[in-house]
Amino acid sequence: HLGFGRGKPHVAAPNVLDRGFNVDKPDRAWVTDFTYIRTHEGWLYLTVVIDLFSRKVVGWTMKSSPKSDLVIDALLMAIWRRRPKSKVLIHSDQGVQYTSGDWKSFLKAHNMEISMSRKGNCHDNAVAESFFSLLKKDRVKKRIYKTRAEARSEIFDYIECFYNPRRNHGTNGGLSPNDDERQYFQELESV
């Protein structure tokens, strides 16, 4: 026996977020994860990036393959949409897409601070897990879509036409993510 697997577990990155899910300003901390949606053509992989301040889905992508560009493209969308002025903490699990050299290089190049859940601990990324649970309860409902295109259309509609503008959140005082951010920026302007 050579002693492999003994000692401290490998840590891909520290858990900087440490379940600090309540954030007082937009674009300070984002969480990301991906899930699988069933279609008769095969799996559709959905990645989301969620701003912890308002629980708004600020970036997302859907692809037929779970390669690292799946998660990078969602983060690129978030960066493009939000144009953060300072460093953003980006929290994920330790999946292979998030431990890849491409992911780490992308974060470094875009002024992002890496944070990762402890191995096998879904509670460390509970906000992303909660979003997927809502999506599957509100819209997917154990369906198997005929095509990936049909699933993409449904998920786009859910994120952009329902979840962000209309889905109320207890963490937002009952406001939707869009309304919560609108109220935050209106209060900033009135000060």
pLDDT, averaged across the chain = 91
CA 179 to chain centre: 19
Whether residue 135 is contained in a domain is answered as yes
Taking the C-alpha atoms of residue 15 and residue 22, their distance in angstroms, rounded to an integer, is 15
Q: Where are the alpha helices (DSSP H) in 11-137?
A: 68-82, 96-99, 101-109, 126-135
152 has a pLDDT exceeding 60 = yes
18 has a pLDDT exceeding 50 = yes
Look up the CATH number of the domain holding residue 67. 3.30.420.10
Range of the domain at 71: 29-190
Q: What does the pLDDT read at residue 1?
A: 39
Q: Within 13 Å, how many C-alpha atoms sit on residue 160's CB side?
A: 9
3-state helix, strand, coil in the chain (%, to 5): 45, 20, 35
> What pTM was estimated for this model as a whole?
0.91
Q: Each residue of 101-137: pLDDT tens digit? A: 999 999 999 999 999 887 777 678 899 999 999 999 9
For residues 3 and 66, the model is more confident at: 66
Query: How many domains are contained in the chain?
Result: 1
Section 90-111 average pLDDT: 93
Whether residue 168 is contained in a domain is answered as yes
